[in-house]
Every structure is written in structure tokens, then in C-alpha cells.
Chain A
Amino acid sequence: MPALVIVAHGSHLNPGSHDPTFTHADTVRAAGAFDEVREAFWKEEPSFREVLRTVESEEVYVVPLFVSEGYFTEEVIPRELRLEDWDVSLWNSDGTDADTATLTAADVDKTIHYCGPVGTHPAMSDVIVQRAESVTQNPDVGEGFGLAVVGHGTNRNENSAKAIEYHADRVREMDRFDEVGALFMDEEPEVDDVTDYFESEDVVVVPLFVADGYHTQEDIPEDMGLTDDYREGYETPTEVEGHRIWYAGAVGTEPLMADVLLERAADAGADVDEALDIVRKRTATPAAGD
């Protein structure tokens, strides 16, 4: 049976950074599609450099728990995993449609299916919607609501903005929310001015981040005016300039993320159909009143 390795950023400073990775890995473990599931981190252990030797399986699916395609997924992870003959053109992506590449790694005798990141998988749009359902505690949320997808912006990575816009477009096409927009932390349209960009009284704000941390817990709530000091907390929703802002926190903490990890492996050829059913049932939004 093959192994699944989930590669994530992790943190030297924030003990909560690895929590979503562990949670989603455990969901995948419980679904039983893989003999081994292992988490690996850029900033924690096992490192990308050493994770492949910790699994026994000869076939390994590697899925980056990253939100966009770019420096980490295209350069750092393949380099540190020692994927031989990796070239980003193998993904044949314009920045939001990476699929998979089958390679060998220099330090282990294994077949590695290196998958695109969860963040640019089409199924991620469903996670964003489910995050909106979770924060509003309304499985039918949509009518009368605006939805903002928030990302860093291009100052750090050109594809980061592409991923945000890609999902905003997809959710807009679902025709479920009254309006859908992409907002950014360091470029226009800025998340600070969220109330200027939406007409709907209720706006759900979903940051496309893997883990909650400085940006999602401190920066964005303060920038949007939910609170003057993040340490004092805020209500959900919070009234800001005539709008009710439903701030969802990092989308990566939504249980349905486990589904996207499996989708990535499935796209690379892993036999995970049963596991997908199990995970979808377990991570579904509870019906209202549950």
C-alpha cells in the first residue's frame, strides 16, 4: 500500500502552526486509504529532507499543504525532497492548475508522485464555501451574503494572487452568494477596505491561509476594524461601517481540507475512492440545529 506524505510550512515560533496539518493527516489516516501517513515540515521535523526515509512504502504521494503554487511548491520542496529531474514544467501549470509529476528521489528507492498544492485544487473552492457555512453556522448560507476570499497578494508571490482570484471566480460561478470578491493584504483591493467593496450587509471573509497565525489572527482582524487590539477578541459577526463581517479565520483549519489532500492523491493515481466518501461524510457541515 502506498504512503501519503503531507508537506507543510510549520513554524519555529508558533506552536499552533502544525495543528491543521496534524488534524487533516489524522482524518486521512482514519479513512484508511494509505498504510502510512506522515506529516513533514519546512520549519519542524521531520524535515522535507528526511521524511521520505521515514516511510516504508515504495510508492509515496506527496501533497503540499500550501495555498499557492510558487517558491515553496516549485523550488524548495522538490529540492529538499531531492526529487531527481524535477522541473516545474512537469506540472504544466499556468499558476493555478498544477497536477502531478512522478519522479524518483536521490536518497531513497521509491516512486514519488509529487502533487500540486491543496490551495490550487478546484475542490478548494468547496472548502471556502464550507468555511463560510461553518462560520455562519448556516449550511445554506449564500443569499443576502457577500463572500470575500483573502490572500497575501503579489508582493510575495505572483501566483498567490492568482490562486485567490481563481477561487473567487469559481465561487462566483456557483451563483450562490450575492457577490464574491478577492481581497489582499498588501495590494489593492485591500482587505482593510472590505466594506467599500461589498454592498451586501453580511459579508463572510475567508482568508486562504493554511494555519491561523499572525496574519489571520492579528493583522486581518485589526485591518478590517473588527477590533483595535486582537488580544481583546471580537464578536462573530462584528458590525463594521454598516456591514456585518463574519470573519472565518484560516480556511486551512476547515475539516474538509482533508478531502482536498485526498483529491490531490487521487488525481495522481492513488486509489482513494472509499476514503473520499468517508472523509466527506465526516467533514460535512452539520445541518442547522445539530
Chain B
Amino acid sequence: MNDSQLRALREAAADGVACDGLSASRDDAGYTFVTPEVSHDGLNEDEFDALATENPWFVSNWHFWRATSETNEAFLRWVEHASELGVRERYETLVDGLTREWGQLLVTATLGTDGERSYELRHTADAATAVAELDSYHDPREAREISTLDDDGDYRPLKTAPTLRAGWRFADLDARDLVRTVEFFYPATVANWYRERTGELDVSHFRETAERQTGIYGVIDDLDVDSVENLAEACCVDSQCLKRREWDEDEETPLDAPRGDGEFPCREPCSLVVAAARQFAVLEGEETRTYELELTPSERSQLGDLVDAVADGRVDEIREADVGDGANRYRARYLRAKRLADGEFEGLREKR
């Protein structure tokens, strides 16, 4: 606690102060100062100051929260487990740091100067990495660069894809910059999380999202509910996106695809899902046909291996000489040499 925090509390007491167990007020009889452990009224200014000085954490804690917006306060209080820990316990624990995971972000709150807060942000995979091994950042806007490409240098069009690269840290952020940095990594997640907590998340389900589309995306309304199920399964599960899907086909028709365990909600199909849906809608415009194709049983199961390997993003992990894996490059090349010409299966016949 510093003098200006104390002065601010004295001034605010005129209107009444209540924060985390501290209450302070002033009336004709003098000041009142109450914490979970002490309760005094009829105090003069010196007595009030003395009590505040004996309970510095309560004063600096009040001062810290005083200036934060409603949304940020809810998020930052969640970060330091404020609903489970009282001020005293929290301040003792903040010395070593209180943490939360937010997608692939690890947020750590520690005590800043004069009992305020200081925040650190790093990748969850770097939880145990020595500070010296991490690139250090301080400007929230640098999160835009870090989040643009993945470890392989590939573009990440979806900010909440589980492909955030590691190896960096933002140190000594104040409250506002912490939220700004989090929001550059995962835009709108804090606002939507807060809406959900207060029961005000405005979910737009697939069907209403589809009906809203115009231009080249108007076609996505042609997808039937089974296709929407496949779409969510393809694009929206935790292996693809860390948001927790809260939208369904419509209010009455939930989708079976796992919603995910993410901390922050997904309130409507995003632009990537809409763009994918457009492609699927075009493809679903075709009727099925029956084909006849000669394959050995191993070749038939190899086709499944190939689809799985691509769908699970496993292609780069298959070792060059692991020819036992149906999705191994040599195996795929052998199958192509034997069975395909110009990208089509030889001997494929459509059954009429």
C-alpha cells in the first residue's frame, strides 16, 4: 500500500467502499473500517489511517480493482482465483503466482508494486521453460505477429486453432495490457466468456447463420442437419479449435459432435466454418453413385489409413521408412504406381 492508495480510500469512504471483505465508509460519527478480521466505527482520520496501514493488502487490493472495467475485472479475478481465495490467502499465494490456462495461454498473476498486480503470459507448453530460453515481449500488439504463423511457418487463419507456437513470454504486463494481449491472441474470447458467465451469451446457431449469408455463401443453407453434424465434427472439435462450441443446428436441435472443453465459448459458426460449409454444400449437391473397383483387402484398408492420416494431421509424423503404415509415402506411391493413372483409379467402373 502506498500513500496515494490510502488517500484514495479515505476519499472514497465518503461514498462507501466494499471490496473483497473490506468495507469503509464515513458519516457524521466518523469513519468505519471493516475487514473479515476487524470491525471499527466512529474513527477519526488518524485512527482510520492506522487501521488501513495495519491492513495494507485490503487497501491495495481495493485500489487495484477500482479502475478495471466490469469485463476485465471478472476475467482478472478468475485469473487469481478470487472466488475461492480471500484477500489474505490470495496475497500470500500471489507472491509465487496464481495461474490459469486460457486456450494455449498460461496466465500468471503475481504481486506488483504497492500490492497491485503484475501479469505474465506464455504458452502452456512453456510452463516449465526457463525464462532465459524464451523470447521476451512487452507490447501487446506483438501477439499479432506471434499468432500469425505456426511452428512450421504456415499461416494460422484461425486464431483459436491449437497450433500457437511456443517459445515467447510477455512479462510484467499491467491489467489492461494483459487483457489486450490475450485479446490479440484470441480475439473476443474475454468478452464472450464474460457474457456467458452472466447468462447473456448471444448464440447464433448454424441455421440462422446460414440464412443470414448472401453472395457466394448463400448456398450453405442447403446443407442438411446431417451435413452440419459432419461439419462440426470436421472443423469444431478440440483438435481443430479451442473454443467450446455453443451453437447447434438450431435452438431445438443439438449436434452430437463434442463441444470441446475450452474455457471460452464459440457463439456462432466462424468465417472459416462458413467458408468450409460453402465447399461442402457445393460437394453435397452431387448424388451418390456406386462404383466397382478391384483392390486387395490391404489396399482397401490403406485408403482408410490415408484419409485418417490427412484428417488427423499425422502425415508429417509418419517416418520415412515406416512402410508398415498405410499412409507412409512409399506405400502411397506404390499404390499410385500400381492402381492410379492421372489421379484416377484404373479399372474403376460405375455400376448402373
Contact = CB atoms under 8 A, between A and B. Distances in A.
Interface of A: 11-15, 18, 22, 26, 42-47, 49-51, 53-54, 56, 71, 75-76, 79, 107
Given A26-B141, A45-B270, A50 B191 contact: yes
A42 B155 CA distance: 17
Nearest to B194: A53
Contact of B192 (A11, A13, A15, A50): A50
A110 to B, nearest CB: 13
Contacts of A75: 214
B267 to A, nearest CB: 8
B275 A53 contact: no
Contacts of A11: 157
A202 B98 CA distance: 64
A15 B187 CA distance: 17
B81 interface: no
Contact of B268 (A22, A49, A53): A49
A76 B214 contact: yes
B157 A50 contact: no
A12 B157 contact: yes
Contacts of B272: 12
B191 A54 contact: yes
B188 A46 contact: yes
B202 A107 contact: yes
A37 to B, nearest CB: 10
Contacts of B71: 56
A12 B271 contact: yes
* Interface hub of B141, B191, B204 (most chain A Cβ within 10 A): B191
Nearest to B149: A15
B187 A50 contact: yes
Contacts of A45: 158-160, 187-188, 270
Given A46-B188, A49-B268, A54 B183 contact: yes
A195 B77 CA distance: 65
A54 B72 CA distance: 11
Interface string B169-190: 0000000000000010001101
Contacts of B212: 79
12 contacts: A13-B157, A18-B148, A22-B144, A45-B187, A45-B188, A45-B270, A50-B191, A53-B191, A53-B195, A54-B187, A56-B69, A56-B71
B215 interface: yes
Contacts of B275: 12, 43
A53 B192 contact: yes
A22 B147 CA distance: 13
Nearest to A39: B144
